[in-house]
Amino acid sequence: MNDFCRRFEMDIAVVLAPMGGGPSTPELTAAVSNAGGLGSLAAAYSGPEKITQDITKIRALTKRPFAVNLFSPAAQEPLRGDVEAVSKFLGNFHQRLGLPAPQLPSSAIEDFDKQVDAICASKPLCVSFTFGLLPPEAMQRFKEVGIFIIGTATTVDEARQLERAGVDAIVAQGGEAGAHRGTFAVPAEQALIGTVALVPQVVDAVRVPVIASGGIMDGRGIMAALALGASAVQMGTAFLAAKEAGTSPAYREALLKAHEDQTTVTRAFSGRMARGIQNEFITTWNESGLTNLSYPWQNAFTQQMRRAASAAKESGLLSLWAGQGVGLIREGSAADLMERWREEIKATRQSLL
Amino acid sequence: MNDFCRRFEMDIAVVLAPMGGGPSTPELTAAVSNAGGLGSLAAAYSGPEKITQDITKIRALTKRPFAVNLFSPAAQEPLRGDVEAVSKFLGNFHQRLGLPAPQLPSSAIEDFDKQVDAICASKPLCVSFTFGLLPPEAMQRFKEVGIFIIGTATTVDEARQLERAGVDAIVAQGGEAGAHRGTFAVPAEQALIGTVALVPQVVDAVRVPVIASGGIMDGRGIMAALALGASAVQMGTAFLAAKEAGTSPAYREALLKAHEDQTTVTRAFSGRMARGIQNEFITTWNESGLTNLSYPWQNAFTQQMRRAASAAKESGLLSLWAGQGVGLIREGSAADLMERWREEIKATRQSLL
């Protein structure tokens, strides 16, 4: 076991990817930590009260370390784009779902400083973040209360920037990864670098531990990432069908049917590039030729539709985030999945001798 | 060692990627085989006499097994596209290079059946191919003379199709890979699946040995691929700066400067999607909004420009094929590189115990 895993008392080198918008529940976070990994709470879409509540829930379920994940406020853009055109586009789907006309909310995201306040008051052992660098004051505040800080890079240069900014570890997010790209220093299209290529190049460029993410679904993938020089892996899609995940029934069903060549990257749902299963909404959006509103406004604008679609089991209108490893997804409790990976790690190690 | 490596007497699980248009010389092919890997001759752009000559050269340099690579004729399309518009576009570069106006040749590719004749007469131990399935008659002819046949897949479905067609092993080409995509069953955009995600899904789907390719640059990558279930790796970019490679000076220089986020996929040079370092030709082509001629016609049409650009060291007009691992490229003889990987494999194995 390496320093990173030792620090968080992990006996399997698995970090739960923070999966906002439903899947990452306090139950899943605690289950992954209890099974010897490092659970992560997706807190980016939560206000301070919710963050405090969720952390309290996790602590009632586990005595072990876990991480809390935020989005860098540097990624937030002022409202840009043709609200009327996007509204008209969304309106068709609202009608189908029996919703009133789309309304752009006056604020699109939670207040970052209040999120930091809540976290510093609760003092989890680890904070991770994505979408950029954190403001130096936030870095300082986390460090003052002894929190270990993990940033997210999709290129070598981003990893170097994060190290210079003082992070303690770096998630190297390969192009296979499901959901939002963490890219912040180049256009996201330019930073779809496969995990096998990205991880060793990041490992060679920085001194802090590197956590590999993207396309890792089982013990074989975990061992591959360790061979590439990673200290651990971050797995998201592999946990989406776990019993403790908050993944909606329609989303689960789509995941269990999906093949490796059915995901795509899109800005249609949130305004930021993210990987998910190609469905009606993405196809129709691409055909429309529309430009998305800036992030996080597109995200806020499509939220009502996505919630209603989830309730109505209309998977064609959901953001079905998933990585390219989706064909290897398995059901079971987090502990079952991790036990299986543990066995696969042993078998893989044996095969490499 | 596994069956695949044993069959070809390999003591390092490395297949040289066949790199047409210059890099894969008989010298490089023989050097990789002599150093304990499986060399490959890129024969797709060669007529029968050249194939026979090259095989004779390789046999003068090594007694060990090697492979000969072809393109599936199924990928050849009739001429489609606006020849005049593409000619006008290329004309500007021809002028700059002091060439006469572009001329579309009457035939764009060598005769496949004659290539098969030459190979069956020379009987290398192995033939590999990409861009589709082979005609059943060609499969039959190779089998009759005892040649081991390797196909190329970029999705799970393609791997299944190849296995049904009777191949003996499958290269799983991840999205990181440099040069042409082997995709034949879906649009190439849909089949940019990272190696970490693709390899285990292919391994689970077929019974024949799987050779991992895409982004593998050193001993860490080789061990990662074996962990994913591959029997060997195919490495191309990692050999592009080798002493024995026919890589032109301008191309070498561009490779040694390139970063992992500077490659892109394009149809501008050949009409088929391929990954290379983004340069002036690709950028100008994208800005032009033109549609490429069908493959192999676009390839034939840009060939004169690329040859002259190579001689003039105008790397902006060359097809600088490279994978996303390009930042890890090293110089040296093939034997030096492979000796280094052997050491890295040992160190990686040790670190995984």
What structural domains and CATH numbers belong to chain A?
3-352 (3.20.20.70)
> Quick check: A191 contacting B, CB < 8 Å?
yes
Please tell me which of the candidates A214, A220, A351 has its beta carbon nearest to residue B194: A214
In chain B, DSSP finds a helix count (H) and a strand count (E) of 13, 11
CB A221 within 8 A of CB A213: no
Question: How confident is the model at residue B82, as a pLDDT?
Answer: 97
Question: How confident is the model at residue B108, as a pLDDT?
Answer: 86
CA distance B220 to B241: 19
> Quick check: A328 contacting B, CB < 8 Å?
yes
CA distance B195 to B174: 4
Beta strands B66-71 and B148-153 are unpaired
Cβ contacts of A176 on chain B, cutoff 8 Å: 193-194, 196-197
- List, as ranges, residues 142-171 from A with C-beta within 8 Å of B: 155-157
Question: How confident is the model at residue A312, as a pLDDT?
Answer: 97
CA distance A263 to A155: 21
Cβ contacts of A221 on chain B, cutoff 8 Å: 196, 200, 228
Please tell me which of the candidates A215, A226, A351 has its beta carbon nearest to residue B196: A215
Q: Per the omega criterion (within 30 degrees of 0), is the bond before B296 cis?
A: yes
Question: How confident is the model at residue A151, as a pLDDT?
Answer: 98
CA distance B119 to A183: 47
B308: which 2 tokens?
Answer: 């002259």
Determine the average pLDDT of the residues in B201-215. Answer: 98
CA distance A71 to chain B (A): 23
For residue range A273-297, list pLDDT tens digits in order: 999 999 999 999 999 999 999 999 9
Backbone phi, psi, residue B92, to 5°:
-60, -40
∠ CA B324-B330-B336, rounded to 5°? 135
Number of other CB atoms surrounding residue A350 within 10 Å: 8
> Quick check: B257 contacting A, CB < 8 Å?
no
Beta-carbon separation of A196 and B196 below 8 A: yes
- List, as ranges, residues 278-297 from A with C-beta within 8 Å of B: none
> Quick check: A221 contacting B, CB < 8 Å?
yes
Average pLDDT, chain B: 97
pLDDT at B279 over 90: yes
β-bridge partners, A265: A275
B171: which 2 tokens?
Answer: 């290269």
CA distance B113 to chain A (A): 33
Cβ contacts of A225 on chain B, cutoff 8 Å: 196, 224
CA distance B112 to chain A (A): 30
Question: How confident is the model at residue A1, as a pLDDT?
Answer: 82
Beta-carbon separation of A217 and B197 below 8 A: yes
Beta-carbon separation of B324 and A197 below 8 A: yes
CA distance B215 to B233: 10
Residues in chain B: 353
> Quick check: B224 contacting A, CB < 8 Å?
yes
> Quick check: B196 contacting A, CB < 8 Å?
yes
Number of other CB atoms surrounding residue B100 within 10 Å: 9
- What is the model's pTM? 0.98
| Burial label, B187 (beta-carbon count in 10 A; 0-12, 13-18, 19+) | exposed
Unique residue bearing structure tokens 């899943």: A28
Among B141, B80, B92, residue whose Cα is nearest residue B113? B141
Q: Where are the alpha helices (DSSP H) in chain A?
A: 3-7, 26-34, 48-61, 83-96, 112-122, 136-144, 156-164, 195-205, 219-227, 249-257, 280-288, 297-311, 334-352
Question: How confident is the model at residue B353, as a pLDDT?
Answer: 87
CB B15 within 8 A of CB B234: yes
For residue range A30-83, list pLDDT tens digits in order: 999 999 999 999 999 999 999 999 999 999 999 999 999 999 999 999 999 999
Predicted ipTM of the assembly: 0.98
B303: which 2 tokens?
Answer: 């060939």
Question: How confident is the model at residue A273, as a pLDDT?
Answer: 98
> Quick check: B204 contacting A, CB < 8 Å?
yes
CA distance A49 to chain B (A): 38
Instruction: List the single best residue of B186, B192, B196 to mutate versus A (max A Cβ within 10 A).
Output: B196
Determine the average pLDDT of the residues in B303-324. Answer: 97
| Burial label, A270 (beta-carbon count in 10 A; 0-12, 13-18, 19+) | buried
Question: How confident is the model at residue B1, as a pLDDT?
Answer: 82
Report which residue type is found at B201: Q
Cβ contacts of B227 on chain A, cutoff 8 Å: 220, 223-224, 227, 348, 351-352
Q: Which residues of chain A have pLDDT under 50?
A: none
